[in-house]
Chains A and B, each alone.
Chain A
Amino acid sequence: MTETNPSTDWPLYEVFVRAKRGLNHVHVGSLHAHDDQMALLHARDVYTRRNEGVSIWVLPSDRIVASSPDEKDPLFAPSGDKVYRHPTFYAIPDDVPHM
């Protein structure tokens, strides 16, 4: 085999699927594709074969900026003791699901 491995040549994309109207797009995984449109087709084939979605987003993985575990304390710890920020003091109507 003299051919190069396509997986190492094609850029990586992250895939987000909206399961149904009213829900957010949720990250479901990643895949390789040689361009943006083919990434969308691949996402359809790999992640929505069982009726999982009504909408797909794909974007190049290298465009994602992620927080580092080293920053965990300065980023997230300060919110741990601010109970007054949690909206737990009023009732949610029955017809507002998934809250």
Chain B
Amino acid sequence: MPDVHTHEPDDHDNAYSGLLVNDAHWAFGTDFEDPLAGVDTTTVPSTVDPHVLAQYCLMLGDDALIASQRISQWCSNAPDLEEDIALANIALDLLGQARLLLARAAAADPTVVPVLPADSPVPDEDRLAFFRDDKQFRNVRLVEVPNGDFAETIARILMLSTWRLAIMERLRTSTDAVLAAVAAKGAKELAYHRDFAGRWFVTLAHGTDESRRRLTEALAGLWPLWTELTETHPVEAAAAAAGVGVDPATVADDVDVVFEQVLAAAGMDRPAARPLAGVQNRKGRDGLHTEALSPLLAEMQVVARAHPRGTW
């Protein structure tokens, strides 16, 4: 059959096409997209153990949830109004990812969801966020340590978003349609987080002596938590083998390349700090956390726990 090029009509044919719709409230931005539109959220791929899928979703969801809670502590405290809004946006993006991932964990394996009174209206993702204890959280320790100063927060967002973007880009081809949809949405958000943090990282490096000193200290302080991100937990290995997840060790080289580029642009050296050991080799993914997690959870969970039958 001859290859005949036929012109597919698209919205570039008419410069006004975007206006030929009911847009009485266009200034408020009314077109919202459901990231899971058309995705079957009730079934689990037959190739994966539902408990593995749930545990894997908890890991990625808890990373986002705890990072979101930490970053949102900058609300009204950032150096400038513009930075305040930027950090709040990043925290909200991560909260949205956490919500979808925790809901997916609950759908895959309902036994991971904490039990509440029978008449409690609290949805599954909220039960997972607000009614689990520190040892049940599966996040890496990088996201739970205190914010420190602005340089530390920028360094942390750069580290987290560089790694998480690499994971999400591969997760778009997950055999779990829900994870693939979450990754497609998350990758766009994380690309922005990385861009924002990368620009600030270079700016602080080339700013004043003081900003460079603070940034250098911030990176050195966080570096012991870096390698944990690309260590493969048995759950991640099982999820990757089943085609639903990504083995974080497979993104280590790509993430390193990006980080080297940022460090080169900043004119900074890679810190030499040794990785922070676990306890009997158990780390964040095993539920073993730093002392910073419990106070964070206490603040995040206190209202929900006081009102287990509350509706919000």
Contact surface of A with B, Cβ cutoff 8 Å: 6-7, 10, 19-23, 31-35, 37-38, 41-42, 44-46, 49-52, 95-98
Identify 7 residue pairs between A and B in the complex whose beta-carbon atoms are under 8 Å apart, listed by A's number.
A6-B79, A21-B15, A22-B16, A22-B17, A51-B32, A95-B16, A98-B19
Provide the main secondary structure of the chain B interface: helix
**Interface residue ranges of B57-99 to A (CB < 8 Å):** 79-82, 85-86, 89
For chain B, the count of residues having a C-beta within 8 Å of the partner chain is 28
Q: Which residues of B contact A42 (CB under 8 A)?
A: 82, 85-86
Provide the main secondary structure of the chain A interface: loop
Tell me if B27 is interfacial: C-beta within 8 Å of chain A: yes
A31 to B81 alpha-carbon distance, docked (Å): 9
Given contacts A6-B79, A33-B82, contact A52 B27 (CB under 8 A): yes
Structural contact, B28 and A50, CB atoms closer than 8 A: yes
**Interface residue ranges of B1-26 to A (CB < 8 Å):** 11, 15-20, 23, 26
Measured CB to CB, the nearest residue on chain B to A45 is B86
Structural contact, A37 and B20, CB atoms closer than 8 A: no
B7 to chain A, nearest CB (A): 19
B104 to chain A, nearest CB (A): 25
Question: Ordered nearest first, which 7 A-B pairs have the shortest CB separation?
Answer: A51-B29, A20-B18, A50-B29, A42-B82, A21-B18, A97-B19, A45-B86
B165-173, B195-203, B253-261 - the one binding chain A: B195-203
Structural contact, B85 and A37, CB atoms closer than 8 A: no
Structural contact, A97 and B20, CB atoms closer than 8 A: yes
A41 to B191 alpha-carbon distance, docked (Å): 12
Q: Looking at the complex, which one of A22, A33, A34, A41 makes contact with B15 (CB distance below 8 Å)?
A: A22
Tell me if B281 is interfacial: C-beta within 8 Å of chain A: no
Structural contact, B82 and A51, CB atoms closer than 8 A: no
A41 to B154 alpha-carbon distance, docked (Å): 15
A98 to B15 alpha-carbon distance, docked (Å): 12
